[in-house]
Structure 1
Amino acid sequence: MTATKAKSSTALTKRLILIVNNKGGVGKSVIARQLADVLRETGKVVEVYDTDGGTGSLLLANGSRDENGALLREQDAKVGIGYFDIRLDRDRNKLLDNLSSGADTIVCDMAGGSLGEISRIIDDGDGVDGFINAAERHGYQIVIMNVLSNVQGATTSVRDYLKAFGERAQHVAVINTTWGKDEADFPFWYGYDAADGTRKGGKTKQEFEALGGKEIHFPALQPGNFAKADAAQMPFSQYVKLEDLTITERERVNKFNQKAREAFLEIANIIGL
């Protein structure tokens, strides 16, 4: 069921950014980590949430810690990473209830398969109109940030979110170049020529563009560097300042951070930069 047009987005000054893909392992949490750093530098009130519960990757990496390095159980979403489990009945409503803070921007790293859970908050599993209406009543424009790997399921997820939210959300496709650098590496998104000469794939991208969707390319960090940065369990903006990095490692992370920032600046008006 596609959401029906209601309130004009011109009246919506705040952002609810949902970083999504129904397929797990596409890189949502890495994109969320970088986006949190960029948005928090603006001086606006930005809250960031991990909806994968107390063991989510975003929480473990960017969550606030005590003087001994232990992750704090109580997190301030404006500084660290708030968290809840979108799959639990007792937690699911927090996705909407957190809007009561009135933060300028709320970013949620959504667990894989979250679309069905979103539809259960207000709409009893039948679409997302009620959810969107509630967000808009509180002044929030919903931004669906689809993170894409090169597998078919990742593209299928974009289609599912397009069908659910339609023109009532702004749609972004983040091509995660960890999975490839060229269009040929993402055949289901860009399309490809089959052996018999027929053109396959690419239809979801066409539908995405017809709804005004914007595509950006997210950079890849050299695998060894990424492994060390991930193990450090801290924001990339802090990791790059560690004294035990080699010159090469520091410059690689600096480049990664800069390229990520440049990608987000391409959609600055959409994400409220």
Structure 2
Amino acid sequence: MANTNAAKKEALASTFIHATTASDKGGVGKSFWDRFKIEFLRKLGKEVAAYDTDGGTGSLARILGQRDQNGELLPPEDQDPLIGVKSFNIRKQRTRDEFLNTAALPASIVQLDLPGGGFDAISEIADGGGESLLGVFQAVIDEGRTAVIDHVIHHEDESTESVARYLDATEGLPVIHCAILNMRDADSKADFEMWFGYIDENGEKIGGRTRERLLAAGGFEIIMPKLASGAASRIKRYSLTFEAAGEDRRLTVAQRAQVKRWHQDMTKTIIDCKPFRKLYDI
């Protein structure tokens, strides 16, 4: 464990990154997080190769993908991952190897958005299925990249269980685990009961162990603030970046104000997160 943590500290100084956004539970906000992260890093001038692994149907590809002069989304084969978003289907055997092949790209940051249940698909690449991901993430590391897993966590139990599964599957490797707590459907951090833990009616602590494991392994947390649902829906409907949405008049005055406030709060959250800044050399 000491050697693994030392390797993670060294990795936190790296900007040659292979980052996977994951949760076995669908609908927790993985693409929402990726859209902000990619937009934020690219605005800073970071070289980010972006991949949507949901076969081109995901919101990441639709919103950040390149478009032609008529505003039509370019097909996956014409997308430049450094400008838009390249797509492939992680669930199909003939295309899922692309997940690992992206580690050989010259881009300093590779960001991949996994669909719900993506664990089972990537475990087939180099680990023969089952509950290990040692082969696939060791291959990423062997390419000279820091392996990062962004775990988007919802207040429901299944997303916390997903984090535990990935921790088990990569144990012993210097993988950086980042937990993003999505406040979309929560009123406070206390709603994430299985993540933070709580005391039951018998005075026993329930939950909290997965968070303890992640932090003990050198991981860190980011709180993603709540965006008003109406504003979030229009951003998605019109395929807008967060920055553009704050000025787009297809949103109401209130919605534009809500987006601007959310974007300011989210940016401050990232800037205030020292491990994130160090990892991405900000």
TM-score by length of 2: 0.89
Q: Structure 1 residues 46-55 or 123-132, which shifts more?
A: 123-132
1:40-99 Cα deviation digits (max 9, x unpaired): 012221111111111112111221112222111021111111111111101101011122
Structural mapping, 1:167-246, within 5 Å: 167-246=173-252
Equivalent residue runs for 1:65-76 within 5 Å: 65-73=67-75, 74-76=78-80
Mapped partners of 1:112, 1:44: distance in 2: 27
Cα distance in structure 1, aligned partners of 2:149 and 2:255: 33
Q: What SS does the aligned partner of 1:16 have?
A: strand
Residue number in structure 2 paired with 1:93: 97
Q: How far does residue 196 in structure 1 lie from its aligned partner after superposition? A: 2.5
Q: 3-state SS of the aligned residue for 1:242?
A: coil
Q: Which structure 2 segments of 5+ residues have no match?
A: none
The CA distance in 2 between the partners of 1:194 and 1:75, in whole Å, is 51
CA contact (8 A) 2:126 2:136 kept: yes
RMSD (CA atoms): 2.1
Is 1:269 aligned to residue 278 of structure 2? yes
**Higher mean C-alpha displacement, 99-108 vs 6-15:** 6-15
**Are the counterparts in 1 of residues 23 and 30 from structure 2 also a CA contact under 8 Å?**
yes
Alignment match, 1:164: 169
Q: Is the 8 A contact 1:63 1:234 kept in 2?
A: no
Instruction: Answer whether contact 1:13 1:139 (CA < 8 A) is retained.
Output: no
Query: For the residues of structure 2 that align with 1:41 and 1:78, how far apart are their CA atoms?
Result: 12
Alpha-carbon offset, residue 133 of structure 1: 2.4
Letter of the 1:185 partner, please give it: D
- Aligned-residue sequence identity (percent) comes to 33
Task: Give yes or no for contact 1:105–1:272 (8 Å, CA) kept in 2.
Answer: no
| Range with bigger deviation, 119-128 or 240-249 | 240-249
Q: Which residue of 1 aligns with 2:24?
A: 22
4+ runs of 1 displaced by more than 6 Å?
A: none
Aligned residue pairs: how many? 271
Amino acid at match of 1:159: A
What amino acid sits opposite 1:268 in the alignment? R
Which amino acid letter does the alignment assign opposite residue 148 of structure 1?
I
Name which structure has the greater RCO, CA cutoff 8 Å, separation 6+. 1
Q: CA deviation at 1:234?
A: 2.3
Rounded Cα–Cα distance in structure 2 between residues aligned with 1:246 and 1:54: 29
Give the aligned residue type for 2:137.
I
- Separation in structure 2 between the aligned mates of residue 54 and residue 80 of structure 1, nearest angstrom: 12
Aligned 8 A contact 1:187 1:201 in 2: yes
Aligned partner of 1:76: which letter?
D
What whole-Å deviation, never above 9, does each CA across 1:83-136 have from its counterpart, x for those lacking one? 111111011010111222210101111111111222221222252222222212
Q: Deviation at 1:213?
A: 1.5
Q: Aligned-pair distance for 1:168?
A: 1.8
Report 1:244-259 matches (<5 A).
244-259=250-265
The SS at the match of 1:107 is strand
What residue is the counterpart of 2:115 in the other structure? 111
Shift of 1:8: 3.8
> How many angstroms apart in 2 are the aligned matches of 1:13 and 1:43?
13
Q: TM-score normalized by structure 1?
A: 0.92
Aligned to 1:152: 157
Farther-moved stretch of structure 1 (151-160 vs 130-139) = 130-139
Letter matched to residue 268 of structure 2: E
Letter in 1 for 2:200: A
Please, which moves more after superposition, 173-182 or 144-153?
173-182
| Aligned twin of 2:48 | 46
1:230 and 1:56 mapped to 2: Cα distance?
A: 11
Question: Per-residue displacement from partner, 1:20-52 (whole Å, max 9, x unpaired)?
Answer: 101001000100100011110122211111111
Secondary structure of 1:212's counterpart equals coil
Q: 1:31 to 1:216 in 2, by over 3 A?
A: same
Compute the displacement of 1:156 (Å).
Answer: 0.2
Distance in 1 (alpha carbons) for counterparts of 2:281 and 2:89: 26
- The more displaced of 68-77 and 81-90 is 68-77
Find the residue that maps to 1:61 and give its secondary structure. helix
C-alpha displacement at 1:264, in angstroms?
Answer: 2.4
